[in-house]
Amino acid sequence: MKKQQRYTPEFRAEAVKLVTEQGLSQQEAAKRLAVPKGTLANWMAATKASTRPSAPGTRSAADLEAENARLRKELAEARMERDILKKATAYFAKESLPGTRS
């Protein structure tokens, strides 16, 4: 009995790119990658039918803008907290020096 081969999503995406971007035929790409032609054809069909990006790490512009806005907000909050801590540290350091208490 033959064991079923598992392929990573990255490998699948690269295999599809060989056909779509580099212009190889499905048969040639399957031969180069030692993948059954039918398997590559299934990946091609799934990529065409899929509405989500096929390459890992690829996100839409709206997703990136939303993440950017979230990160800017977090950064502003972290800076505000840092500034408060700096002022508090300076205040308590001044209080702890001898002869500075009123």
- pLDDT tens by residue, 14-32: 889 888 888 889 899 999 9
Domain match, 76 and 43 both: no
Domain match, 73 and 53 both: no
- Separation between Cα atoms, residue 19 and residue 32, nearest integer Å: 11
Domain match, 14 and 43 both: yes
Domain match, 54 and 84 both: no
Which DSSP category does 52 fall into?
A: S
Amino acid 79: pLDDT: 98
Cα–Cα distances in angstroms (integers) from residue 89 to residues 20, 28, 75, 77, in the given order: 60, 67, 21, 18
Domain match, 51 and 67 both: no
pLDDT confidence bin for 62, thresholds 50/70/90: confident
Domain match, 67 and 49 both: no
Tokens 């909050």 map to which residue?
77
Count of domains for the chain: 2
Domain limits at 94?
Answer: 60-102
- Separation between Cα atoms, residue 38 and residue 26, nearest integer Å: 9
